[in-house]
Structure formats: C-alpha cells, structure tokens
Structure 1
Amino acid sequence: MRLTLPYLIFFVWFSIFSCSSSVSNPLNGKHLRVIWPSWSGNPKVLLGPLKGGVLLDYLSARFNFTHEMVPVEGGLEPTVGRGQLNYLIDNQCDLLINNIIPTVSRNKNVDLTIPWTYDNFAILIPVPDETANINAVIKPFQWPIWLGLGVSILCVIIALNTIQQFLDQPSKKETNAIELGDDKMVQAKTTNYYIYVYGLLLSQGGPCESKRLSIRLVAGVWTLATFTFVQAYSSILFTYVVAPVNRPLINSIYDIFDNSDINLFVRVRTIDLLIQKNDTTAIYREIAKRLDSKSNSRCAYISECIQKVTPGSSNIFMEASSFAKDAIKVEFNKTGKCNLQFATEGFATIVSTFALPKQSPYTKTINQGLLELQQSGIIDFWELWFRPMPPQCNGKPPNGNTAPKKNSSLSFKNLTGAFIVLLVGLSLSSLAFLFEKIISIREHRLGRSRNKVRFAGTK
C-alpha cells in the first residue's frame, strides 16, 4: 500500500496534466489550411507579410499542428472577384496570415486575432534634386524690412539734401574752406551724400565732410541704423547660404493642404479604411477630398503608385512603412540610385491582425502564440532580418543634427544668389560706363566744333 499510493498520485497528476494540456491546445495534431499571400505558389503581385512564413513555422512547432497552403489569385478584398476573406467565410481556409486592418464589418464576418504588428502610414516622396539657392541673398529679411530699408534710404538722402540746401540759402559763399557755396560745390555735396548713405549700408564707410550739427545728427542716426541692419543681415545670411539646396517636397501630411500642386496617391483598401472609420476627423476629411478630386489617385498595386513618384515630380505616395521600405529597396536594386525617401513625419499608427473563420476553436490559441512572440520581441528582430535596407538608401530623410562624416565645401548652388547680384552689378556698371563714354565722346566732338568755329571767327 505504501508503494501503491505514490504511483496512484503520480498517475492521477499525469492524467490531469494530459487532459488539461489537450484542452488548452486544440491545435494539437490538427491539420490547417493556411493562406499566406507571399507564398511562392501565389502571384507575385499579392502583398503579404514577409515574416509570415516564420510566424507560421513557430506556431506550428509551438502548438504541434501541420498545415498546407491554399493558393489564391486575388487580394484581401478586391473590388472584382473573390477575395481572401471569402475563403474564410466559405470555410475553405482555417488561418489567413496577412496585414489585416481590423474593422467592424470584418469582425462581423471573421474572427480577428490580437494585433501582431504595429506600423504607421509613411509618405514616400521623390528624393529632391539640388536647386540653385537664388533667394539666399534676400531671405534674411522679410519684404516689409526691405521696403522699410528702401524708404529709410530715401528719407535720409532727402533729409541731408534738404538741410544742406536750407543752410546754404542765406549766402552762396561760405567762409568755411570745406563748404563752398557755389552751385558746383552744392552739387558735389549732394553726390557725396548719396555715396555716404550707400557706402555705410555696404559696409564701405565714408567721411561726413559737413561740420553742421544738424547734418551730423542725421549722419549719426544713419550710422547706428546701418550698423544694426548690416550686423543682422550678415549673421542671418550665413544660415541661408549654407542651407541645404535639396529641400524635400513635403515634411508631413499637413503640407499637402497648403500646396495644390502636390498629388497624393494611395493603394485601394488601405488609407480608405481609416477614412471610413474616422470620417468625422478634419484631417481625414481633407485627405478624402484630395483623393476624390482626382480620379486616378487610387492604385490597385504598389508598383502602379511607385511608377508615378519620380524625381522632379510633385507626386507622393502614402503606404504602410513596411511595404514602403520594400518599394524603396526594389527601386534601388532596379536603378542603382536612391530615388525615394520618407517624409520627415509619418501619419496614423495602424495595427494588423490575422483572421480565422467566425467562431473558430483555434482563435484563442493563436492569440496565445502571438502574445508569446510579442513578449519575446522576436517579431521586431524578424523585421530587420527580412527587410535589410541598403545603408546608402534607407529611406530616412537627412537629419541635420547628425554630424557629417566629412566636411563638405559650399557648392556654386549655395552662392548662386551672390553671383547673380555680382552679375547684375557688373552689367549696370558696364552700361553706365558705356553711357558715360558716349556722353564724353559727344562733348569732345562738340568742343572740337566750338573751337573750330571760334578759330574761324578770329580769322
């Protein structure tokens, strides 16, 4: 009896454990029919999670079941033809491994698992080309400041000339040797004031020859004002000169609402589902209006949308970041160039689930396996494993906070504005020189003709 009791306890415990394990694992020894769009037997145009194969292998090993692939021809919910969800509804499939966005209508027809991955909609934009930084010279100041500066120049010149003419009114001849009162000296002083005002503004300086207190007060005020203007302009100008000459088309989804030239493209049954779920949100309504404004803004496949996002165009494409990374990699492998990149900010976090037939006895067990995978963190590791992005084309926008590997010199496109100003100045000076030369030749000829007449009169 003493030996029989321990064996009896062990037998009862083993029986209970065996019963509980078989009850907790309804998949034990079962054979499932599985749909995985990325399976090699399906058309390559179908999109599915790349790591769906290892997920299925883990679940089958964890819960001891076998499986077979069900070939499909259509997408999840195609507008025409039979979709993948129809196989579940018709009980021709036991498990659908796909990136299924949970909706109320889908939950009524099939069993949705817990979210197995979290993603967001990324915005693919063409990599911007380098553009000439023409406006760098005028960018430091806004137009009201430039307008105020021009008015100030006119006011100072008018004030100096008015004061000079008023002070020279009583007498045409000044006792001061510096300030002569004849007309030629008054004209020379006026010219000197023009040179003085512009010279200070261009940091060239210049003496104020007048000894009059009122003129010196105006000159002193202008000196302080030009010092402030020049220092502010010079300090801000450097920022615009070294600014990147390849500015991105947009930085976030909100930028498209301010620019009607930008064309937004999406894949059918993706962002549209979020719009239907959030039709009361202002930004979703704006996106819907932008999409509805053009008939070809929705594509059946990612490849169709990617073909429209070309360098130099104003087309952008919104897609889940995982599929967008695949598109960047495919484009890079095809062309050898990095023609696509992400906008700085993504949009709308999304979750993806698997699906089983309605009231499936395996739903709870599949949820348990997905929770274990999420707890281990291996799903994120598989993402890096299956989507290795080329380092020179990882889709991330340039980050200004990261230090460059080597010091980059300024290119001609950074200083295009300065060279344009120099070209305009040289052109004006050449025209002025030609004009003065023509006048001098004319005066020289008139002088020679006068001398001939005068010489003939003396005879």
Structure 2
Amino acid sequence: MKSPENILTESALLYDSVKLLATALQDLDQSQSITMPSISCQTESQWQFGSSLMNYMRPITFRGLTGLVDFDQFGHRSSFTLDVMTITDNGLQKIGYWSGSQPSQPLNISEEWRDNYSIMSLANQTLTVTTIINAPYCMLKDSSATKVGNDRFEGYIVDVIDELSKMLGFKYKFKLVDDNAYGVKNESGYWNGLIGEIINGKADIAIVDLTITSKRAEAVDFTLPFMNTGISILFKKPTTKVTTLFSFLSPFSNVVWVYVLAAYVGVSSILFIVGRLSPYEWDNPHPCRQEDFVLENNFSLTNSFFFTIGSLMQQGSDLTPKAMSTRAIAGIWYFFTLIMISSYTANLAAFLTVEKVIYPIESADELSLQSTIEYGCLASGSTKSFFQDSNITTFKRMWNFMKNRDVFMSKNDEGKKRVQKGNYAYLMESASIEYIVERNCNLTQIGGLLDTKGYGIATKKNSRHRNLLSQSILKLQETGRLHMLKEKWWKQKKGGGQCAEDSKKSSSVTALKIDNVGGVFVVLLGGLSLAFFVAICEFMWKSRKSTTGCETMCEEMINDLKFSFACQSKSKPGRKKTYQTNVNNSSNYNSLSQPQIIRAQHFNKIDY
C-alpha cells in the first residue's frame, strides 16, 4: 500500500470511512443478531438497525490516514487539523493550520507569513507613495502653491490611496518621482523612474497609470490591477467636410441600388407580359366601326418601362391599366415606390445635415503602411517597450519607423499638443485617451486596442504589503467604488463631459442596407406573383367563353405569348363571329300585322 503522503485526500477519507463502518457493524453484530434485507429502489422503508448502527459509530475513536477520527455528541467529526497552504514561486507552501477542535479560534499563521495576511500589519504605519503628475491620475491643485504635503495633490490615484488607507489603517505621504519617468531598464541593468525608486528604497509603493509588464514584475511586485486598459491611437479629427460628386447616392448602399434597378426592370417586364396576356387590355380603338376587327394594347415594352419609371419618379403617365391583373401590378408598384422614396428622402436629409468625416487612417495597420502621418509614444514607458519587443509584423514595422525619427515624447501632455497641431498620431493607453477626448472635442480615438494590460500598485519584491493591498483593491472593485471614482475624474471633474453633446451631433449616418428595406422587396415579389396569377385566371375565363374548339386554351395562350414577344406592334387582328337574330312569327304576330321589313342584325364579336 502506498504511504499516506502519496494518497489523495479523497482516497484517505474513503479509507477511514469504510474502516469506521466496518468496526461499527462488527460491534453491532456481536451485541445482537442482525439481518440484511433485500434492498429495493422502489421502496423507502428504513433498515431497522440503522439507528443502532449510528449509535455504535459515535463512540469509536481511532487514528486513520486523515488523523484522529472521533465524533462529538451530534455526530460531527471534532478532532482534526487542516493545513493552510499558499502558492509561491516554488509551488504550494504551508503557512499555518486550523484546528477543528477549536473552531472559534482564528487561523494559526506562522510568524514569517503573519504580516502578509494580517490586516493590522499596516495599521499606524506611514508609507511613502511615489507618483508622477499625469491627469487625471495625479494633478496639482490650483492652490497647490499655498499648500504643503498631500494637500497639494488631487486625482484618481489620490482618492484610491485614500480609500485604501481607510481600509488598512495606514498613513501615506506622496512623493513626486525625481526623473519624471515610469521605469525602464537601461543597458547597464539599472531601472529609472518609479520602478527605480521602489528598488532603491526611496518609496514603499508606486501608483499612477503604471502598466504591469513581465520585465517590471521581475524587479518589483504588483498588486491586482485597479484598472484595465490597452494601447490605442490618439488622432485629430479632420476639420473639412468630405463631399463627393455622387453624394445623392449615399442614402442607399450599393446593394440596395442594385436591387432597386432589378425591381424596376423586373416589374416593367412583368407588366408588359401580363398586359399582353390579359384579354381585358386589348380594346377596339374604334368601337363605332363594327367592320374594323383590329385590337390595340397600350402596354408595349417601351410604354411599360415608361409607366414604371414615371411612377418611381412620382410624375405619373397617361397610361391607365384596365385589367385587374395590371392594376394589381400598378398598386403594388405604387406601394413600393412610396416606401422607397420616403426612405430615400428621410436618409438624404440626414446625410445633408450631419457632417460626414473620413479619417485618413482607421487602424494601426493602415498607420504602419503609410509615411505621411508621423506617430510616436512616450519615451520612457511600457508603450515603447511593447513596440520594441513585439514580434508582430505590423508593430515591428511601426517600431522601425519610430526609432529613426524624433517622435518620442517626455510627457503625454506633449504628445497631445503635437496631435492637436495635426499630421501626428500618438500611441498611448486607452484610459488616458478616454480622458483626453472627453475634454478636447477635436481629438478622437482611432481603432481598437492593440493589447490588453492593467495598472497596478508596485511594491518591493516579496513585500508584505502586496497581498493586503490586493485584497483591498478587490473589495473596492466589488463595491463599485473604483468605477465611481473613474466616473468622477473622467466625466465630471476638470471639464469632463463637455464633448458629450458634440459626439451626439457628429454621430455618423449610415446608408440603408438591404436588411433595412428588404421587407418591401418581399411584398413587391408577392404582389407580382398574385398579379401574374390573376392574369392567367382572366385569360382562362375569357377563353372559356370565346374558344371555338379548334385550339385548346393552352395553345391559345402560347400563341398569344408568341405574338407578344415576336411582334412589337401594339395592335393585332381580331376574330369575327356573326350572330343572327331571327324573328319569331308566333311571338310577334301582332307586330307583323303591320307591313314592316325586318332585317337580320349582325353583331361583330371578337374572340381572343
């Protein structure tokens, strides 16, 4: 059997449980004769010796694989000990224990780990906090010249440190970094900026928009991030309105225009076919001339196209459908043009009133493929290290462009000012870009995030402050306090929110796509199908009354269609039938008493 050190916890507990059950059954069997009835899942009857077995299990005590096994009067296991473990760079490590025999007692943490987990370890201590002036994280108050100490500063991280101090009970003292740098490792292996001051012991913690990176994590420890962000592009909005010669086509997308053109051609063609097929569209142009057997149809191919384009342009025409089928086509086409013209007019007004801005770049990839617009980042920070160490082709191309030009800035504020001059893009964290564009309406963020990172509080390596600060940051996140502080300093304080109305006014207008107007095309298609069906019914009804039997109804329809497509003439000859009305002598006896001449009347009837 394996040694207890190599057995899983579940296996050890199972072993001790089976041993306890076997011992209790043995004692029960010796005291009285027990029977084991058959077990069925269909019944809920209890075993008559169950309570006795439980009573025999309570007083049993033995040392098993999980330690001492014994129970209290309620049947709960009482004498056991749990080891408290933590994860270190070398794996799991025991830092204390908890005893089940004394559940009301706190954890017993070893001396070397106690300061890392005791909330009182920071009480009444004064921490030196190093930071950098960078809005909105840390700023000098307007009246800072007349104030001293912490009263000179305000900003997001000032409020965060104040919240942490209230939770952990420590005092703090802000200190501006000497070289105004965040922290970069030079060729000699030394760190400058905030990271350097933590390593050299000039400060206990460092907090600002300090990005957590793998290189920095080798030199210092970081708490959990109090803000998530990523690199993006700050750029100036174009000031000129972009106009094109064919701006009138903007309300509809190219696909919709193709569909409209196809609908125009399709409806015109179907109107021509149905107009030729329906017998009610063929009329005698001279009804008073009975000897004239020529019929005319106004819906020729050219007239059909003219009728639909006239309706589409809301100008109308002198053509009027007579048959029910052609009227159905005209009605559904009128409905189609009503919806499309209304949608076009409404969206055209939006395009004319809303300024459409086209940016010369839309992403980092487009920025890297051009050389007209210069771009850069902070000279000492994680953004520069990101491009310098990246193996992605786009970012390597951008680094090769930046390193040979004077595009690096000593402060983010300098980068913002250069962007405002034009023809320059500044690469910085999106959280800072969000703060800038809230207050500078002529600036905007281009594209999405190039990476994902977080801002954390830097402490010394293996510092006992890190775990306590991380736990407190989690509590601030869970209560929503960090979100409230960000809303305060990004959108309310220092001119925040002044570009909110501007962003609403400059909201982009998009062309209507087929998803927006697809329903009206479906209705048009259904209406055309119905009209075609009505035309066939009209032809069949008329043919039934006028066919001579020499040709079937289908043959007559085919002949008419052949004539329609083969001959573009708007007239065709009709067929004559003579009907003679005879005089019934018996019924008209009285009228015959007078001398009259009764002539047979001939009526011309044209069949189709």
Question: Which position in structure 2 is the counterpart of 1:241?
Answer: 348
CA distance 1:41–1:239, change in 2 (3 Å): closer
1:33 aligned counterpart, secondary structure = strand
1:99 aligned counterpart, secondary structure = coil
The question of 1:319 aligning with 2:428 is answered: yes
1:365 and 1:147 mapped to 2: Cα distance? Answer: 65
Question: Which position in structure 2 is the counterpart of 1:33?
Answer: 128
Question: Which position in structure 2 is the counterpart of 1:289?
Answer: 397
Within 5 Å, which residues of 2 pair with 1:170-249? 199=310, 202-207=313-318, 234-238=341-345, 240-244=347-351, 245-249=354-358
Q: Deviations over 1:108-129 (max 9, x none)?
A: 1111122122234455444455
- Aligned match for 2:249, one of 137, 152, 155: 137
Question: Which position in structure 2 is the counterpart of 1:428?
Answer: none
Q: Deviations over 1:390-441 (max 9, x none)?
A: 4331498439999xxxxxxxxxxxxxxxxxxxxxxxxxxxxxxxxxxxxxxx
1:51 and 1:272 mapped to 2: Cα distance? Answer: 24
Please state how far the C-alpha of 1:72 moved relative to its aligned partner. 1.5
CA distance 1:341–1:292, change in 2 (3 Å): same
1:36 and 1:265 mapped to 2: Cα distance? Answer: 27
Question: Which position in structure 2 is the counterpart of 1:88?
Answer: 198
Question: Which position in structure 2 is the counterpart of 1:164?
Answer: none
Tell me, yes or no, if the aligned pair for 1:275 and 1:285 is still in contact at 8 Å. Answer: no
Please state how far the C-alpha of 1:353 moved relative to its aligned partner. 0.8
Question: Which position in structure 2 is the counterpart of 1:377?
Answer: 480
The structure that has the greater radius of gyration is: 2
CA distance 1:267–1:258, change in 2 (3 Å): closer
2:344 and 2:117 mapped to 1: Cα distance? Answer: 74
Q: Deviations over 1:266-322 (max 9, x none)?
A: 52334455557874xxxx6435435644655953232333234449x6755443343
CA distance 1:113–1:400, change in 2 (3 Å): same
Tell me, yes or no, if the aligned pair for 1:109 and 1:358 is still in contact at 8 Å. Answer: yes
Structure 1 length-normalised TM:
0.54
Question: Which position in structure 2 is the counterpart of 1:99?
Answer: 209
Letter in 2 for 1:137: L
Tell me, yes or no, if the aligned pair for 1:264 and 1:297 is still in contact at 8 Å. Answer: no
2:209 aligned counterpart, secondary structure = strand
Question: Which position in structure 2 is the counterpart of 1:351?
Answer: 454
1:242 aligned counterpart, secondary structure = helix
Letter in 2 for 1:76: Y
Letter in 2 for 1:237: Y
Q: Could you say what the CA RMSD is over the residues aligned between the two structures, in angstroms?
A: 5.6
Q: Deviations over 1:153-203 (max 9, x none)?
A: 9xx9xxx9xxxxxxxxxxxxxx99xxxxxxxxxxxx9x9999879756644
Within 5 Å, which residues of 2 pair with 1:111-190? 111-121=221-231, 123-127=233-237, 129=239, 130-132=241-243, 135-137=247-249, 140=252, 142=254
Please state how far the C-alpha of 1:89 moved relative to its aligned partner. 2.3
Please state how far the C-alpha of 1:135 moved relative to its aligned partner. 1.1
Tell me, yes or no, if the aligned pair for 2:375 and 2:426 is still in contact at 8 Å. Answer: yes
Question: Which position in structure 2 is the counterpart of 1:55?
Answer: 160
1:193 and 1:258 mapped to 2: Cα distance? Answer: 53
Aligned residues: 341
2:504 aligned counterpart, secondary structure = coil
Structure 2 length-normalised TM:
0.42
2:453 aligned counterpart, secondary structure = strand
The question of 1:64 aligning with 2:64 is answered: no
Question: Which position in structure 2 is the counterpart of 1:393?
Answer: 499
1:136 aligned counterpart, secondary structure = helix
Q: Which moved more, 1:352-361 or 1:300-309?
A: 300-309
1:65 and 1:272 mapped to 2: Cα distance? Answer: 34
2:350 aligned counterpart, secondary structure = coil
CA distance 1:285–1:238, change in 2 (3 Å): farther
2:218 and 2:431 mapped to 1: Cα distance? Answer: 27
1:34 aligned counterpart, secondary structure = strand
2:367 and 2:339 mapped to 1: Cα distance? Answer: 30
CA distance 1:237–1:277, change in 2 (3 Å): farther
2:176 and 2:257 mapped to 1: Cα distance? Answer: 70
Question: Which position in structure 2 is the counterpart of 1:73?
Answer: 179
Letter in 2 for 1:36: T
CA distance 1:380–1:273, change in 2 (3 Å): farther
1:255 and 1:67 mapped to 2: Cα distance? Answer: 40
Structure ranking higher in helix proportion: 1
Structure 1 regions of 5+ residues with no counterpart?
Answer: 1-12, 161-174, 177-188, 210-218, 332-337, 403-459
1:250 and 1:146 mapped to 2: Cα distance? Answer: 28
Please state how far the C-alpha of 1:355 moved relative to its aligned partner. 1.0
Letter in 2 for 1:204: Q
